[in-house]
Structure 1
Amino acid sequence: MRTRGAPAIRTQGKTGPPLGCARRPTAMTETQPASGQQRRAFWLKHLHQWHWISSAICLIGMLLFAITGFTLNHAAQIEARPAVETRHATMPTRVLDQVRAEAPAGDAQAREKKAPVPAVLADWLAQALDIDASGREAEWSADEIYVALPRPGGDAWVSLELDSGEAQYEKTTRGAISYLNDLHKGRNTGAAWSLFLDVFALACLVFSVTGLFLLKLHAAGRVGTWPLVGLGLVVPVLLAILLIH
């Protein structure tokens, strides 16, 4: 006896995917905006990167400035023992005549006429006394040329008698602590150190600003964050207002 199978069921209209097959996400689902957690992770990553790079750049400088800040604050208690070195030489008459010819115009009796060190004088000082006076400013008088040679951690000068050609050089060294203190202050350190201080200041600024934003991102879980930041501001302000006169 023949049995007929169940009649096929026809569906009209749109046909969906077979049962058990997941639908593909729509374009709107694929391009959903980043969540707050993703934004936080983005900023944490970049702030940490800039924070550690800037800290690595200014680490040694910050240690130096912390130490020299202490030594400067206690300069009266830290005794320096200056060491003085002197040198003498006599300029040949031929060279002395060339130096006299380079004297700046003006009243011969005027004191402290300032002009650059003549090249002939700078060359002779380098050969006779091992002094680099090129590009320095000299003070001219009727009978003497005086050149100040300030340096970090000490001082130096050279004078030349225009009558006799006698040159005298004196250098004073006050030790390593005085040298580092002058580096801290940028005193008589030249253009290269001045540029380094600018770069160092910029690195410290980046380090501090990125640290501030990292504090903000972590402050929710650390209740003492902003009280400590405020304390770091209030204490020096109160000291300056109440105790510095």
Structure 2
Amino acid sequence: MTFSWGTVRQWHWMSSAVCLVGMLLFAVTGITLNHAAEIPVEPEVVSHEGTVPEQLLRDWQPSAGETPQLPAAVLDWLAAEYGIHIPGGHAGEWDSGEFYLAMPRPGGDAWLALIPETGELIYESTDRGWIAYLNDLHKGRDSGAVWKWFLDIFAIACIVFCLTGFWLLWRQSSRRVSTWPVTALGVLIPLVIALVFIH
């Protein structure tokens, strides 16, 4: 593809189309993150205490130093008994005869503690709501590898959008005398705020 004025315009509108929804969400969550302390949140906490049947744990003997996973039979029992759905592949920690599984996620977290010898189980899940969910997606917190890749691709698309936009400004600056003063203002405002008001 020949690099030309038309090519830059095409890259600009294509990158803007790719970034449109993402930039709106990131702008909105930027506001909610900036005012997180002022937005009331009532976390929803769900707790369960119980005893896992002995036969489900009979052949499960984790050893110190390994990162064990719950047996499939226990996962099925948790789903049927308490509606606790734990995706396979979640590894926990083993310490002093207790299995502990942390399950952080965007907008909340959960944890499970199990003593195989007695079958004693404690589970707690906290949901902080949709705003917290979207805020955590903004930060990439506990959102997984696929979301991390999406953020990287989205950031690249934003860079293309900004650079091609700058190129378009430069090409049209001779016909619009306010182009560079306004562009300079966009640089100076955050710079002055950072130097003067941020300590």
TM score, norm. by length of structure 1: 0.74
Does residue 147 of the first structure (1) align with residue 101 of the second (2)?
yes
Change (3 A) 1:222 1:153: same
Does residue 116 of the first structure (1) align with residue 116 of the second (2)?
no
Aligned residue in 2 for 1:51: 12
* Counterpart secondary structure, 1:200: helix
Aligned residue in 2 for 1:90: 51
User: Matched residues in 2 for 1:52 and 1:241: separation?
Assistant: 34
User: Matched residues in 2 for 1:83 and 1:239: separation?
Assistant: 38
* Counterpart secondary structure, 2:58: helix
Say which of 164, 189, 193 aligns to 1:235.
189
User: Matched residues in 2 for 1:98 and 1:158: separation?
Assistant: 20
2:40 partner letter: E
User: Matched residues in 2 for 1:212 and 1:122: separation?
Assistant: 56
Say which of 144, 169, 175 aligns to 1:190.
144
User: Matched residues in 2 for 1:194 and 1:79: separation?
Assistant: 28
Does residue 224 of the first structure (1) align with residue 178 of the second (2)?
yes
User: Matched residues in 2 for 1:167 and 1:75: separation?
Assistant: 34
In 2, are the aligned partners of 1:122 and 1:134 still within 8 Å (CA)?
Answer: no
Does residue 207 of the first structure (1) align with residue 161 of the second (2)?
yes
Structure 1 segments (4+ residues) deviating >4 Å: none
Aligned residue in 1 for 2:82: none
Say which of 20, 24, 38 aligns to 1:77.
38
User: Matched residues in 1 for 2:109 and 2:196: separation?
Assistant: 38
CA drift of 1:133 comes to: 5.0
2:180 partner letter: W
Q: What is the aligned-residue identity percentage? A: 47
CA drift of 1:52 comes to: 0.5
Deviations 1:39-63, CA, capped at 9 Å, x for gaps: 9xx7331111110100000100000
* Counterpart secondary structure, 2:92: strand
Asked which structure has the greater RCO (Cα within 8 Å, sep 6+), the reply is 2
1:68 partner letter: T
Q: Structure 1: which 5+ runs fail to align?
A: 1-38, 105-112
Change (3 A) 1:81 1:122: farther
In 2, are the aligned partners of 1:58 and 1:200 still within 8 Å (CA)?
Answer: yes
Deviations 1:15-66, CA, capped at 9 Å, x for gaps: xxxxxxxxxxxxxxxxxxxxxxxx9xx7331111110100000100000000
TM score, norm. by length of structure 2: 0.90
In 1, are the aligned partners of 2:56 and 2:74 still within 8 Å (CA)?
Answer: no
CA drift of 1:244 comes to: 1.0
User: Matched residues in 2 for 1:132 and 1:242: separation?
Assistant: 49
1:124 partner letter: A
In 2, are the aligned partners of 1:122 and 1:133 still within 8 Å (CA)?
Answer: no
Q: Structure 2: which 5+ runs fail to align?
A: 80-84
Rg comparison, structure with higher value:
1
CA drift of 1:89 comes to: 4.2
Deviations 1:130-172, CA, capped at 9 Å, x for gaps: 3325333322222311110001000100110233112222111
Root mean square deviation of aligned Cα: 1.8
Does residue 103 of the first structure (1) align with residue 53 of the second (2)?
no
In 1, are the aligned partners of 2:26 and 2:138 still within 8 Å (CA)?
Answer: yes
Q: How many residues were matched structurally?
A: 193
